[in-house]
Amino acid sequence: MTEHTPSDEIDPDASADTARTPAAGDVTADWNPRGPSVRRDPLAAYDGMRSYCPVARGVSGAWTLFAHADVTGAARDSQTYSNAVSRYLQVPNGLDGPTHTSYRALVDRYFTRERMTAVEPVVQRVARELVAELDVPGRIDAVAVGSRFAVRAQCAWLGWPADLEDELLRWMADNHAATRSRDRARTAQVAERFDAIIRSLTAARRVAGEHAPDDVTTELVRDRVEGRELTDEEIVSILRNWTGGDLGSMALCTGVVLTYLADHPDLQDRLRAGVSDRELDAVLDEILRIDDPFVANRRVTTEPVRVGGRQLAAGDTVFLNWTSANRDPKVFGDPDAFDPVGNAPYNLVWGAGKHVCPGRPLATLELRALTRAVLDATAVVEPDPGRPRQRGLPPVGGFSAAPLRLG
């Protein structure tokens, strides 16, 4: 949902070289963000880069920040590190300054505590119904379960028809493949396909007028910013980030969370014994910190800046590597040590600064509801030794396939 989701995946710019083109011979790359070592073991690769080259220049000329202090500093310095990184409108995460403030205020109204309380029973119902369809005992791919849940939960929240489920699932698969291909034309085509789905839904509400359904999508179509109605382009951008980003992020989160629980039966037992929503949310955030599936977000420098002994020029593309920052031993000690309370103040799973993820309340609610539904319907969630896990390939993290057994 904007800042800390895989929303860059539906930006046609994101699959291409987004850095400024360096002059011939003026770049010596410190690393390859999609090289063999990253593809083989992303966490180890990021940990290694943070250790010996915390501010690294990639083969494209773009910089990556790996250390917690550097990532946090850049995320909070929106003057030096601009979010306006794409040729395409991205509301609100691709905006800066007062313009971002206005649109962010609009978006935040949709994620208030009152609204989340109202939608919680709907999300819980969706989670229970989906889990009831699973074979217990039986085998699942946690990522596939998360994908289907994300589509159903988002459709229920936005008031979209249930018959969109298969179409959206196909789009998710095509979008991941296009992103991995790094083919800008292919990525743009997939993004346009998603925009067409959104425009059909908003157009239907405009035609219906006062007879349009009373749902979040209709409310957004009628909403206003800075004293005027939102444009179609702005509405599509907001819905693209809410849905396109959240569908991918919920699938990745589900894979990471259920896999971690399968590997830690003692934690499963503790959660089954009963914990508050607040305690469960802290557990989920800590699991995602240890293996953050939201690898990086882009920025562009507005002026020369020195970071970690490296000099960056104005106009340089900078990636904030959240996955690495969330495992920085200078902040967390042993990055794999499980400490939900102690690590919470430094956890960057949902971002930091002005662009911290506005959709966090809904994303957390969805993940909590699905986790509870799985635990309530099973006696055990365990690894499936007969089917290997598959790591997500850059630019996403987590797992592309997370096979588990339910008992």
Cα-flanking dihedrals φ and ψ of residue 229, to 5°? -70, 150
216 touches 110 (CB < 8 A): yes
Residue 394 lies in a domain: yes
Quick one: pLDDT band at residue 15, thresholds 50, 70, 90? very low
Q: Is the pLDDT of residue 150 over 50?
A: yes
3-class secondary-structure state, position 315? coil
Count of structural domains, the chain: 1
Domain CATH code at residue 375:
1.10.630.10
Residue 1 lies in a domain: no
Of 390 and 175, more confident: 390
Residue 191 lies in a domain: yes
pLDDT digit string (tens) for 309-355? 999 999 999 999 999 999 999 999 999 999 999 999 999 999 999 99
- Cis peptide preceding 395, ω within 30 of 0: yes
Residue 67 lies in a domain: yes
Residues whose CB is less than 8 angstroms from the CB of residue 334 and which lie 6 or more positions away in sequence, other chains included = none
Residue 262 lies in a domain: yes
* Tokens at 123, concatenated: 């999300």
Residue 336 lies in a domain: yes
Per-residue CA distances from 335 to 57, 136, 253, 288, 364 (Å): 24, 34, 18, 12, 22
- In SS3 terms, 221-253 reads as HHCEECCEECCHHHHHHHHHHHHHHHHHHHHHH
Q: From its phi and psi, is residue 169 left (phi > 0), alpha (psi between -120 and 50) or beta? A: alpha
Q: Please report the pLDDT score of residue 286 as a whole number.
A: 98
Q: What is the mean pLDDT of residues 142-170?
A: 93
**Domain extent at residue 93:** 6-406
Instruction: Describe the crossing of helices 360-377 and 142-158 by its angle, rounded to 10 degrees.
Output: 130
Residues whose CB is less than 8 angstroms from the CB of residue 358 and which lie 6 or more positions away in sequence, other chains included = 1, 2, 3, 92, 104, 107, 108, 111
Least confident of 5-19, 36-50, 279-293, 353-367: 5-19
Task: Give this prediction's pTM.
Answer: 0.93
Q: What is the mean pLDDT of residues 378-398?
A: 93
Rounded to 10 degrees, what is the CA torsion of 209, 211, 215, 221? 0
Q: Which of 138, 78, 64 is nearest to 295 (CA)?
A: 64
Burial tier of 34 (Cβ tally within 10 Å: 0-12, 13-18, 19+): middle
